[in-house]
């Protein structure tokens, strides 16, 4: 069985690695890391059966890391020093949590349960149930990982106002005025953001509906964003954009 460990504290990684290899010598540790961004890239390349994942980490927490996979191709046992996270797991009958410092008996119990249930579809579905529950309760925010010069950067989707293409690059325009340039086409970005209901306003622009303020038919048709930027709307998208504003107006009355 291929096992990976992700925890921002190196001593926790090494301690857990030692316990697993002593208790389950037949297991193979295929990845260990303390950097969530690097872990995401590695976990997408490596065949992993079980991931031990810390909840509280900088940049992106364990739940947000897991949310980068659709669906996760591995099972998960969370590790955390905060027992309140376990409450949410118990609510939805999610996979085991191990509270730090990790007790060998509890580790053995969690591992044996996983080994027994690892081929059960119900077990893998519990990850999706947990993430859905956390989103519903507002605990898990939607973040995406985008490639930047020195690795990956995590962006909160709700703070992306719009995306603008420039050849084979895309500028992410954030609500704080920051611009982030990434090496992807707008078509690739659209595929990532389509589940968050971003709209392709024209050939060069992808917009977050939550940051639209007004649709004007003058000057060929354009969207006025909340920051005052005017974004052109192509003829093929005018009915869609107009329909969205009409639906919002109708529901607000």
pLDDT digits (tens, 9 = 90+) for 89-126: 666 655 688 989 999 999 999 999 888 887 665 666 77
Give the angle 175-196-73 at the CA atoms, nearest 5°.
120
pLDDT at 31 over 90: yes
**Mean pLDDT, range 171-191, rounded to an integer:** 94
- Please list the alpha-helical segments (H only) found in the chain: 10-23, 36-43, 62-66, 84-91, 104-117, 121-136, 186-193, 238-252
Global pTM reads 0.75
pLDDT at 253 over 60: no
Closest CA to 133 of 161, 92, 176: 92
At residue 239, the pLDDT reads 85
At residue 123, the pLDDT reads 61
- Cα 121 from chain centroid (whole Å): 22
Q: Can you read off the two tokens belonging to residue 126?
A: 């519990």
The residues, ordered by sequence, that sit 6+ positions from 58 with a Cβ below 8 Å of its Cβ are 8, 36
Q: Of residues 88 and 237, which shows the higher confidence score?
A: 237
At residue 120, the pLDDT reads 63
| Measured distance CA(27)–CA(39) in Å, rounded | 19
Give the angle 154-156-136 at the CA atoms, nearest 5°.
120
Q: Of residues 87 and 193, which shows the higher confidence score?
A: 193
At residue 125, the pLDDT reads 74
Is the previous residue joined to 110 through a cis bond, with omega within 30 degrees of 0?
A: no
At residue 149, the pLDDT reads 79
Mean residue pLDDT across the chain: 88
| Measured distance CA(41)–CA(151) in Å, rounded | 9
Q: Of residues 62 and 84, which shows the higher confidence score?
A: 62
**DSSP letters spanning 133-164:** HHHHTT-S--EEEEEETTEEEEEEGGGEEEEE
At residue 251, the pLDDT reads 60
**Mean pLDDT, range 121-146, rounded to an integer:** 77
pLDDT at 46 over 60: yes
Terminal CA-to-CA distance of the chain, rounded, Å?
A: 57
Residue 150: exposed, middle, or buried by beta-carbon count in 10 A (0-12, 13-18, 19+)? exposed
3-state secondary structure 12-27: HHHHHHHHHHHHCCCC
Q: What is the percent of the chain with per-residue pLDDT over 70, rounded to a whole number?
A: 91
Domains of the chain, CATH where assigned: 2-136 (3.40.50.2300), 144-252 (2.40.50.1020)
Q: Map residue 33 onto helix, strand or coil.
A: strand
**Mean pLDDT, range 54-77, rounded to an integer:** 89
- Cα 198 from chain centroid (whole Å): 16
| Measured distance CA(76)–CA(53) in Å, rounded | 7
How many CB atoms lie under 10 A from the CB of residue 59? 15
At residue 121, the pLDDT reads 59
| Measured distance CA(32)–CA(228) in Å, rounded | 46
pLDDT at 248 over 90: no
How many CB atoms lie under 10 A from the CB of residue 122? 9
């Amino acid at each position: 069985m291929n096992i990976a460990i992700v925890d921002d504290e190196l001593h926790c990684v090494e301690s857990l690695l030692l316990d697993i290899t002593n208790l389950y010598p037949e297991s193979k540790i295929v990845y260990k890391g303390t950097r969530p961004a690097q872990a995401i890239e590695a976990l997408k390349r490596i065949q992993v059966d079980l991931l031990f994942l810390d909840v509280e980490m900088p940049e992106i927490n364990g739940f947000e890391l897991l949310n980068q996979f659709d669906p996760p191709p591995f099972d998960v046992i969370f590790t955390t020093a905060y027992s309140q996270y376990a409450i949410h797991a118990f609510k939805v009958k999610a996979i085991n949590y191990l509270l730090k410092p990790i007790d060998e008996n509890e580790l053995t119990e969690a591992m044996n349960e996983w080994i027994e249930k690892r081929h059960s579809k119900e077990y893998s579905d519990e990850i999706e149930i947990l993430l859905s529950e956390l989103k519903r309760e507002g605990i898990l925010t939607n973040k995406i990982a985008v490639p930047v010069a020195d690795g990956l950067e995590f962006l909160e989707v709700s703070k992306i106002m719009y995306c603008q293409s420039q050849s084979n690059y895309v500028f992410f325009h954030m609500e704080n005025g920051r611009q982030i340039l990434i090496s992807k086409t707008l078509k690739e970005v659209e595929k990532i953001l389509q589940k968050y209901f971003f709209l392709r306003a024209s050939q060069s622009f992808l917009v977050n509906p939550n940051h639209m303020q007004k649709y004007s038919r003058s000057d060929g048709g354009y969207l006025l964003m909340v920051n005052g930027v005017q974004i052109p709307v192509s003829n093929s998208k005018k009915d869609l954009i107009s329909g969205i504003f009409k639906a919002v107006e109708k529901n607000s009355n």
